[in-house]
Amino acid sequence: DPKIIQKPKYLVAVTGSEKILICEQYLGHNAMYWYRQSAKKPLEFMFSYSYQKLMDNQTASSRFQPQSSKKNHLDLQITALKPDDSATYFCASSQPGPSNERLFFGHGTKLSVL
Amino acid sequence: QQKVQQSPESLIVPEGGMASLNCTSSDRNVDYFWWYRQHSGKSPKMLMSIFSNGEKEEGRFTVHLNKASLHTSLHIRDSQPSDSALYLCAALNTGNYKYVFGAGTRLKVIA
């Protein structure tokens, strides 16, 4: 029973198009994140949100825009898609605190840009 | 920029053998370390955490942490083919609350 739901699981897009990756977590966590992983690069931090506010952004391109409509939602909008954007995008969440501190990951959205 | 270095990049051990993986953070303000395991096509899952100096054992898995050198190691004894996976080390600086991952060690256990 997945507690972090990512939709869709697989996504194929054409160069130049726009896509939204969906993430909902049902763990009651206050912090949510996006990470990206590809064959060329290891697991790479993109964004962190806490209480729906952007905490950190390590993505150089403004083509990547996180959107948080609710505390347990953190979607990722990607515009002007490029083949280099092909990767698996993982949503994650955590509950900051001295005990049980850890990151939980969703199953990922595998994006292929043609 | 905060970095986490893992070694070796890949490791092959025989079934029943011992696998030893290393991880070092370059950020002096890192407070916590984790080891995650990622099987092919799956998401990373936490294997073990270590927050204070010393050693922690859970079944076949043992982690060590030396906070002075910001070095952690994971040891898997009696390795099984099902242990074959990518092992990721993660470090957290509670100042900026960013979890940073290393590039991973790809472990293969051969029967």
Which of residues 30 through 69 in chain B touch A, CB cutoff 8 A?
32, 34, 42-46, 49, 51
Quick check: B98 and A108 CB within 8 A? no
Q: How far apart are CA B17 and CA A109, in angstroms?
A: 35
Residue of A nearest to B36 (CA): A103
| Predicted confidence (pLDDT) per residue in A58-106, tens digit | 887 899 999 998 889 999 999 999 999 999 999 999 987 766 678 999 9
Can you give the pLDDT at residue B48?
A: 94
Please answer yes or no on whether B98 and A42 come within 8 Å at the CB atom.
Answer: no
Cβ contact, residue pair B97, A48, below 8 Å: yes
CB contact under 8 A, B96 and A56: yes
Q: Quote the CA–CA distance of A59 and B96 in Å, as a whole number.
A: 16
CA distance A30 to A48: 11
Q: What is the DSSP letter of A84?
A: G
**Least Cα separation, residue B37 to chain A (angstroms):** 12
Hey, what are A82's tokens?
């490029």
CB contact under 8 A, B97 and A105: no
Over the stretch A16-70, which tens digit does the pLDDT of each residue have? 999 999 999 999 998 999 999 998 888 999 999 988 888 888 887 899 999 998 8
Q: What is the pLDDT along chain B (111 residues), one digit of tens a residue?
A: 668 999 999 999 999 999 999 999 998 888 899 999 999 999 999 999 999 999 999 999 999 999 999 999 999 999 999 999 999 999 988 777 788 999 999 999 999
